[in-house]
Structure 1
Amino acid sequence: MFTGIVQTKASVVSVSTSGDVMRLVLSTPNAYLNHLDIGASISINGCCLTVVHYELGHKDVVGQVHFDVIDETLRLTNLGQLKQGQKVNFERSVTFGTEIGGHIVSGHIHTVAKVESIERQQDNCAMFLSLPEKWLKYINYKGFITVNGCSLTVGEIQKNGFYLHLIPETLEVTNLGLAQIGSEFNIEVDQQTYTIVETIERYMKSKGL
């Protein structure tokens, strides 16, 4: 479980594939790897991945963390597009006493959205994201959404997508500030909204409504 508050941007060291599994190696400062356990969960671009190996760097230099990414994750997310040198959003899982600054995030990606437009101003950046129509019913104006692992508030909704309004801090700390038109973001809709919509639809279907 995560909060959607990205801790840092990690760098892709290498990407290699064996069969249906991709080995992803990231580098990040030691501070984000201290007291890490093999098998721990880390959100990478919003995807809950399991640590299979890690190594701390000497003194204050960066360490490395390794993940195995299976074919189902590659099919549903943007992780299969990663290349050496790219930046990914990194958040370790919630621990007891963690401040929930965003909202509860599972790390299970529902779909991918595409950046259709970017409007940058001095203190604001508006992005319009398009996504498959079937997922729009789970997105509400001013509701929560997780974009590449970032807990954000939904802006205006249109028939094929929605707006995000991003402050400079979000653009600096996360990889959303590196986006270009055509970039793809991992999307996790708010789980409470998803559950309510699915429950109501099943009930109405059972009643023939």
Structure 2
Amino acid sequence: MFTGIVQTQATVISVSEVEGIKRLVLSVPGQYLQRLDLGASISINGCCLTVVHFELGIRDVVGQVYFDVIDETLRLTNLGDLVQGKKVNFERSVCFGTELGGHIVSGHIHTTAVLSDIDFNGDNCSFKFNLAPKWLKYVMHKGFISINGASLTVGDVDDSGFYVHLIPETLKITNLGVSKINDLINIEVDQQTYTIIDTVERYMKNNT
């Protein structure tokens, strides 16, 4: 479980095939790997991945963390597009007593959206994401959404997608600041909204 508050950006060191599974190696500031255990869950671009190996460098300044990514994850997320040098959003799983500054995020990506417009106006920045109708029904004005693992508030919603408004700090801390038009972005809709809408739809279907 995560909060959607991205802690840092990690850099892709390598992407390779290991016994038919994609092995992803990231370089991470060492402070974010302290007291890490094998098998721990980390959110990478909003996708919950399991640590299979990690190393800390000299004086623990920089470390490397390894993940195995299966086909189903590659199909549903933008992790299949990662290449050496790319930046990804990084968040350790939440601990008891941690301040919950975003919203509850499972790390189970529902789909991807296409970044279709970027509008800068001084320090204000708006992104427009095109999203399939199957998933757009779960996106509500002023509701929560996880975008590449970042917990954000939904702005306007129209027939093709939705808008979010980003402050400079979000652009600096996350990889949304280097995103470009037509990029695929990982989306996790708010689980509570998802559950309510699906429950109501099933009820209506079964009682008509």
CA displacement, residues 29-53 of structure 1 (integer Å, 9 cap, x when unaligned): 1100000000000000000000000
Q: Is the 8 A contact 1:114 1:130 kept in 2?
A: yes
| Structure 2 gaps, min length 5 | none
What corresponds to 2:36 in structure 1? 36
What corresponds to 1:61 in structure 2? 61
Work out the CA distance in 1 between the residues paired with 2:14 and 2:97: 34
What corresponds to 1:3 in structure 2? 3
Which moved further from structure 2: 15-24 or 181-190?
Answer: 15-24
| Structure 1 gaps, min length 5 | none
* 1:40 partner amino acid: A
What corresponds to 2:172 in structure 1? 172
CA displacement, residues 96-154 of structure 1 (integer Å, 9 cap, x when unaligned): 10100000000000000001010112211111000111101100000000000000000
Q: Is the 8 A contact 1:144 1:190 kept in 2?
A: yes
CA displacement, residues 150-198 of structure 1 (integer Å, 9 cap, x when unaligned): 0000010010100110000000000000011011110000000000000
Q: Is the 8 A contact 1:2 1:106 kept in 2?
A: yes
Work out the CA distance in 1 between the residues paired with 2:182 and 2:19: 28
What corresponds to 1:196 in structure 2? 196
Query: Taking structure 1 as the reference length, what is the TM-score of the superposition?
Result: 0.98
Work out the CA distance in 2 between the residues paired with 1:52 and 1:18: 12
Shift of 1:61: 2.8
Q: Is the 8 A contact 1:48 1:108 kept in 2?
A: yes
Q: Is the 8 A contact 1:76 1:109 kept in 2?
A: yes
Q: Is the 8 A contact 2:141 2:155 kept in 1?
A: yes
Q: Is the 8 A contact 2:46 2:186 kept in 1?
A: yes
CA RMSD of aligned residues (A): 0.8
Shift of 1:21: 1.4
Work out the CA distance in 1 between the residues paired with 2:201 and 2:20: 35
Which moved further from structure 2: 123-132 or 186-195?
Answer: 123-132
* 2:169 partner amino acid: E
Query: Taking structure 2 as the reference length, what is the TM-score of the superposition?
Result: 0.98
Poorly superposed stretches of 4+, deviation over 3 Å: none
Q: Is the 8 A contact 1:3 1:104 kept in 2?
A: yes
Identity of paired residues, percent?
Answer: 68
Shift of 1:57: 1.1
Work out the CA distance in 2 between the residues paired with 1:175 and 1:38: 26
Q: Given the alignment of the two structures, is residue 26 of structure 1 paired with residue 20 of structure 2, yes or no?
A: no
Shift of 1:3: 0.1
* 1:31 partner amino acid: Q
* 2:187 partner amino acid: I
Q: Is the 8 A contact 1:20 1:71 kept in 2?
A: no
Work out the CA distance in 2 between the residues paired with 1:133 and 1:28: 36
Q: Is the 8 A contact 1:51 1:67 kept in 2?
A: yes
Shift of 1:18: 3.7
Secondary structure of 1:204's counterpart equals helix
Q: Is the 8 A contact 2:31 2:61 kept in 1?
A: no
